[in-house]
Amino acid sequence: MQESVQAFIDYLSLEKGLAEQSCQSYRSDIEKFARYLEKSGKNPDQMRQVDLSAFLEYLRSRGMAPSSIARHLSSLKGYYRYLNRFGITAYNPVESISGPKLYRSHPGALTVEEVFGIIRMAQLGVESDSSNKKMTLRDLALLEFLYGTGARVSEASNARCDDLYAEMSLVRLFGKGKKERVVPMGKAAWKAVDDYLKYCRPKLAGPRSGALLFLNNRGGNLSRMGIWKILRKYVSAAGISKKVSPHTLRHSFATHLLAGGADLIAVQELLGHADIATTEIYTHLDKDFLVTEHREFHPREKW
């Protein structure tokens, strides 16, 4: 098993481009599973769903947090997908096993329906013939951008037009400490941003605009407070009484991806979050891998 684990880690590092800390997280989780296997006298090809369920129960019995158990399961799913893909094993006992649900009780997350309701209020403004239509084009683009990328409010406020890579469906964000990451953005968000760039931003742009992406009605930088006020307007229009901030959309982004079955480590990379093993934000993760995860699991991709 040691050989297959090393081959898997090499695959993640060389072909998928995962950062060293992410690879070490995978290695640690799988090696813990290997030690469990050794005690049971089995090899990976002999494991069945009941054995994997017993391993997860073993982790729970040792007081492991649900988030850590979910990470172990995510690592094992990636490992077995690798074994299956390259013909090392013909059976994948992990694929249909569900781990502990994460973020379900997070007070900062909205439901998918609530997020769609907020976005729909902006869409209705765009579809109307009101004199304020150009501003609702910006508002819709902003909401789709926040939910489509999981960006922090400061990242959206400071985003520039040259941070958009439409041909690759990627957006460059600058997070805490000006650390950079490149993330996918889905087709619904791209359409909204493209319409804004074509029909709204040119009318707002002025001497102070530079390459800033989101502008206020005077052509200056759309501030964090400005973004908060825009979101509050559509939250109210959608009839949502709970407290909602731009960070709520970031929480919702992560919640909905994980609830849909996205790889936990991929979501951490998308958010620019450090896991318990690292404080690193910027990585060289293969962008095709992130695009695949985003398109498969983000709710707006099915819109």
Active site (catalytic) residues: 152, 176, 247, 250, 273, 282
The dihedral sign for the CA sequence 187, 189, 190, 194: positive
Residue in this structure with the two tokens 């041909």, named with its chain if needed: 167
Helix (H, G, I), strand (E, B) or coil at 39: helix
Distances in Å between the Cα of 282 and the Cα atoms of 176, 178, 262, 285 are 10, 10, 20, 9
Neighbours of 131 (CB within 10 A): 7
Query: In angstroms, rounded to a whole number, what is the distance separating the alpha carbons of residues 59 and 65?
Result: 9
Query: In angstroms, rounded to a whole number, what is the distance separating the alpha carbons of residues 12 and 173?
Result: 23
Helix axes 246-259, 287-297, angle to 10 degrees: 90
Residues contacting 265, CB < 8 A, separation 6+: 18, 22, 25, 26, 71, 74, 75, 78, 275
Query: In angstroms, rounded to a whole number, what is the distance separating the alpha carbons of residues 118 and 9?
Result: 42
Q: Specify whether the CB–CB gap between 279 and 179 falls below 8 A.
A: no
Query: In angstroms, rounded to a whole number, what is the distance separating the alpha carbons of residues 252 and 246?
Result: 10
Distances in Å between the Cα of 254 and the Cα atoms of 257, 267, 268, 298 are 5, 7, 8, 9
Helix (H, G, I), strand (E, B) or coil at 175: coil
Residue in this structure with the two tokens 């850590």, named with its chain if needed: 68
